[in-house]
Structure 1
Amino acid sequence: MDLRMLSRELSLYLEHQVRVGFFGSGVGLSLILGFSVAYACYYLSSIAKKPRLVTGGESFSRFLQDHCPVVTETYYPTVWCWESRGQTLLRPFITSKPPVRYRNECVKTADGGQILLDWFDNDNSKNYMDASTRPTILLLPGLTGTSKESYILHMIHLSEELGYRCVVFNNRGMAGENLLTPRTYCCANTEDLETVIQHVHSLYPSAPFLAAGVSMGGMLLLNYLGKMGTKTPLKAAATFSVGWNTFACSESLEKPLNWLLFNYYLTTCLQSSVNKHRHMFVKQIDMDHVMKAKSIREFDKRFTAVMFGYQTIDDYYTDASPNRRLKSVGIPVLCLNSVDDVFSPSHAIPIETAKQNPNVALVLTSYGGHIGFLEGIWPRQSTYMDRVFKQFVQAMVEHGHELSNM
C-alpha cells in the first residue's frame, strides 16, 4: 500500500469517527474511561488529603476536632485546578464577590495620620440583636488589599450568616483616603493595628472580639499578638497564607517563574499605591529610585525599610518575620497554610515552634496555593479557607470558654 492509499484510508477512518462521534467509538470511549479512572485514582491517592494539624497542646487539638472538624477532614482541591500557581491566580477571578454595604470611619493616629475602617454592622442580626454584645470580627487584608477583596467579602458574608459584626482594617493610603503624614504601613510596625484594636474594643467592650488576617495582614496580626502576649482584648485570631519567614518568601518569589507571575505585578501595585501620595515622601525618600524597583525586595529596600528607620533590608525582614514571635502568642490562634504556597515555602513554616505554644494550631494542607484553597467542580461560592474561617470563629465565640476548662 503506497502513501497515497494509506492517506486515503486514514481520511476515511477519521471522517467516520467524526460522523459517528468520538463517544460512539468503542476505542474512544475506552480511552476516555481509562484516562478518567487513572486520573481519579491519582487524585484520590495523591491530591486529596487530610490536612496536617500541629498544635502546642492536646486541649487545643481536642477543641478543634470537636468544634472545628473541617481542619481534620480531607481537603478535595478543585479537580481541574489543584496546582499552587493555578489556585493562586484563579481565585480572584473565579470566586464571587458578595455585595456588602460598608459604613466608613476614619480613626486618627497619634502622629496625626488617619486610618480608614470599613464597618459591616449587621444590624439585622437575629442571633445577636443587642449591638453591644454582638461578636465583632476584625479583618486584615493582604499586602495591597482592601475591604473590596473577594476573600474579605466572603468572610463578611459568612459572619453575617452567624450574626456577627465585621470591621475591615485598611492600611494607610490604600482605600482612597489621603495621607496626612509621610507614612504608609509595614507588617513589622504594629502601632496602627494597636490603635484600631483599642478603638474597636472601646466601642463594644462587652462584645466577643476576634481577628482574622490574610497574607501580610496575617503577618501583621501575628507580630502584634507576639508583642502583646495575653495583654490584648482579642479573644482569638486566625491567619491564612501567612509568610512566616520574610527572607524565604522573598527568595521563593524571586525565582524566574514566580517573579513573572507574581513578584513583578505586586511590585507595580506597591509602586502605584505610593506614587499616588508621592508629594508626601519626596523629602525623605528618592521616589524615582523607588519607581525603578523590579521586585518586592527592591521596593522594600528603597522605600519600606527607609520609611520605618531600618538600617538595612535585612534588619527590616528580620523584624517583619512572624515566626520569631510565635512562641509569645498568648491567645488561641489558628493558622492555615498550604505547603505548596510559593509565597510561603513549606520549609519556613515554624512547626517546632508551634509545638511549644499551647495557644497555637497550624493547619497545613498539601495543596491550595496562596489564598487559593479552591474546592468543588466550580468553586465560586465557597472555598476550604472560608469553611475553616466560619467554623473557627463560631467555635471560639460559642465554645471558647471550654478551652480554659480542658
Structure 2
Amino acid sequence: MGAEEPPVPVPVLSPLPLLPPLLAAATTALLGYYWARVPRRPLLAAGPRLRAFLEQHCPAVGETFYPTPWCFEGRLQTVLGALLLARPPVSYRSEALRAPDGGQLILDWAEDADSNWHPDPHACPTVLLIPGLTGSSQAAYLLRLVHRASRAGYRSVVLNHRGCRGEELLTPRTFCASNTEDLETAIAHINRRYPQAPLLAVGVSLGGWDPDASAASLEQPLNNLLFNQRLTASLRCLISRHRAAIREKVDVEHVLQARTIREFDKRYTAQAFGYRSCREYYQAASPARWLHRVRVPVLCLNASDDPFSPLHAIPVEAARHLPHVALLLTAHGGHLGFLEGLCPRPGSYMERLFAQFISAVFEHREELQQLEGDGAVGQGAA
C-alpha cells in the first residue's frame, strides 16, 4: 500500500474581519430606518383659538422632534431619560400646611437668585409643580423643571405628595389620582400669600388618561419587569414607612403583598379614598371623562410610545373639539423621556416645551384671557 497523502489544511476564517462590515451594515440600516420613519412633527389637537396661541408663542409645538437615534424606542427613552439627564442643584425652603382633614402637606419653595430679578416680588408669576407617583420635589424631572422656571425669572413651588418628602403621615390617607383636595388647599394658600401673582400649575404623570388602560399596559411582561415592579415596590415602602397611621384604615400586611400597581390600588388606594372597588377608583380618576368641563387653558404632552399611557387611551379626537384643552402628541419620547439629539442635550424636548409654554402664558396673558373661562392655567405631562 502506498503512503497516505497528508490532509490538506482547511483555512479557518476569523470572524473578526467580518465584524466591521456587519456593524457598518447594521448602523446604515438603523440610520436608514430612523430617517425614514422616526422624526415627526408632533400632532397638535386643540380648538382653533388655543391652537393659534400655541403655534405663535410656543415654536416647539410645530417643530420636528428628532429623538436620540440610538434610543428612540419608548422604553429606552423612559429608562435612559431617568439615567442620563442631569439633576441641577436646587435649594428649597419647606413649608408645612395642615389640610382640612388633619393631614400634613409640604410645600417646597425654590430659592434661586435668577427668580429674584422681578421688580415686584409680590407680582412675580408662580409655577406650582405636582410630582408623579411616589415623587417629590427631589425627583430629577422636577428639579429640571424648577431650574428652567427659575432661569426664566419665575417663582417655583412644589406640592409634595403626602408622606413622600420624609414627613410624618398624620392620617391614613396618602394621595391618589382622583383626589384634588390637597391641590385645592395648596392653590388657595399660594393665592392668599401672593394675591397679585399669576399662577400656573404643572402636573406630571400620576394616572395618565385612563388608569385602567395604564395599569394594563404596565402589566405587559417587559413593562412589568422594567416599571411596574419598581413602582409598586416604592409604594410598598411608603406604606411600610407609615404603617402606624395607615393600619387604622387598611390591612397593611395585605397591602405589602401587592406586586403590581393594580393590586396596590385594589388593596389600599380604593379603600383609603372610599371607593367600592379598584375599577370604580380608576373610572373616577380618568381625566378623559372630565375634559369637557375644563374652563382654563391646558396643554398636555404625551408620547405615542409611552409605556405608561397607551395610544388608544389618549383622547385625541375629543381634544380637537375642546376650546381650552390642547393635546400635543409626539411619535416617540416614552414616559418623561423625550431625549433628543445625537447625544442627549442637557435638557429634553419636554423641558423646552415647558419653558416656552410658561413664558407664553405669563407674557401674553391678555390673549389667553380672551378664551372663555378664568382661573389658573395648567400644563400636564404624561
Is this a same-fold pair by TM over 0.5?
yes
CA RMSD across the alignment: 2.0
Structure 1 residue ranges (4+ consecutive) displaced by more than 4 angstroms after TM superposition: 31-37
Aligned to 2:80: 90
Q: 2:339 aligns with which of 361, 374, 378?
A: 374
User: What SS does the corresponding residue of 1:90 show, helix, strand or coil?
Assistant: helix
| Contact 1:122–1:164 under 8 Å retained in 2 | no
Tell me the distance in 1 between the aligned counterparts of 2:31 and 2:248.
Answer: 60
User: What SS does the corresponding residue of 1:103 show, helix, strand or coil?
Assistant: strand
Identity of aligned residues (%): 48
- Is residue 403 from structure 1 mapped to residue 368 from structure 2 by the alignment? yes
Deviation at 1:5, TM superposition (A): 2.9
Aligned to 1:228: none
Equivalent positions of 1:186-197 (< 5 A) are 186-197=176-187
Aligned to 1:284: 249
* Residue 4 to residue 165, structure 1, CA distance change in 2 (3 Å): farther
Deviation at 1:341, TM superposition (A): 0.8
Aligned to 2:37: 46
- AA paired with 1:195? T
- Structure 2 spans left out of the alignment, 5+ residues: 1-5, 372-382
Deviation at 1:39, TM superposition (A): 3.0
| Contact 2:307–2:335 under 8 Å retained in 1 | yes
Aligned to 1:62: 52
Deviation at 1:335, TM superposition (A): 0.3
Residues 314-357 of structure 1: per-residue CA shift (max 9 Å, x gap): 11111011111111111111000001111110000112221221
| Contact 2:110–2:155 under 8 Å retained in 1 | yes
- AA paired with 1:105? E
Deviation at 1:7, TM superposition (A): 2.5
Q: 1:267 aligns with which of 232, 239, 244?
A: 232
Deviation larger for 292-301 or 394-403: 394-403
- Normalising by structure 1, what TM-score? 0.86
- Is residue 6 from structure 1 mapped to residue 43 from structure 2 by the alignment? no
Aligned to 1:152: 142
Tell me the distance in 2 between the aligned counterparts of 1:388 and 1:124.
Answer: 20
Residues 107-159 of structure 1: per-residue CA shift (max 9 Å, x gap): 11112111011101445536513210111000011001111111111111111
Deviation at 1:259, TM superposition (A): 1.1
Q: 1:172 aligns with which of 162, 171, 176?
A: 162
| Contact 1:123–1:131 under 8 Å retained in 2 | no
Q: 2:130 aligns with which of 122, 140, 143?
A: 140
User: What SS does the corresponding residue of 2:187 show, helix, strand or coil?
Assistant: helix
- Is residue 108 from structure 1 mapped to residue 89 from structure 2 by the alignment? no
- Is residue 182 from structure 1 mapped to residue 186 from structure 2 by the alignment? no
* Residue 208 to residue 7, structure 1, CA distance change in 2 (3 Å): same
- AA paired with 2:165? A
Deviation at 1:79, TM superposition (A): 0.8
Tell me the distance in 2 between the aligned counterparts of 1:351 and 1:261.
Answer: 27
Aligned to 1:393: 358
Tell me the distance in 2 between the aligned counterparts of 1:122 and 1:198.
Answer: 23
Aligned to 1:224: none
User: What SS does the corresponding residue of 2:33 show, helix, strand or coil?
Assistant: helix
User: What SS does the corresponding residue of 2:290 show, helix, strand or coil?
Assistant: helix
Aligned to 2:375: none
* Residue 401 to residue 122, structure 1, CA distance change in 2 (3 Å): farther
- AA paired with 1:128? H
User: What SS does the corresponding residue of 1:177 show, helix, strand or coil?
Assistant: coil
Aligned to 2:377: none
Tell me the distance in 2 between the aligned counterparts of 1:64 and 1:244.
Answer: 22
User: What SS does the corresponding residue of 1:213 show, helix, strand or coil?
Assistant: strand
Question: How many pairs does the alignment contain?
Answer: 366
User: What SS does the corresponding residue of 1:104 show, helix, strand or coil?
Assistant: strand
| Contact 2:50–2:324 under 8 Å retained in 1 | yes
Residues 142-196 of structure 1: per-residue CA shift (max 9 Å, x gap): 0011111111111111111110010001011110000112211111111111000
Aligned to 1:235: none
User: What SS does the corresponding residue of 2:122 show, helix, strand or coil?
Assistant: helix
User: What SS does the corresponding residue of 1:91 show, helix, strand or coil?
Assistant: helix
Residues 261-304 of structure 1: per-residue CA shift (max 9 Å, x gap): 11111111101011101011223211111111111111111101
Tell me the distance in 2 between the aligned counterparts of 1:150 and 1:380.
Answer: 15
Deviation at 1:362, TM superposition (A): 0.4
- Is residue 203 from structure 1 mapped to residue 168 from structure 2 by the alignment? no
* Residue 33 to residue 298, structure 1, CA distance change in 2 (3 Å): closer
Tell me the distance in 2 between the aligned counterparts of 1:390 and 1:89.
Answer: 23
| Contact 1:101–1:120 under 8 Å retained in 2 | yes
Q: 1:346 aligns with which of 288, 304, 311?
A: 311
Aligned to 1:226: none
| Contact 1:59–1:403 under 8 Å retained in 2 | no
User: What SS does the corresponding residue of 1:146 show, helix, strand or coil?
Assistant: coil
- Normalising by structure 2, what TM-score? 0.91
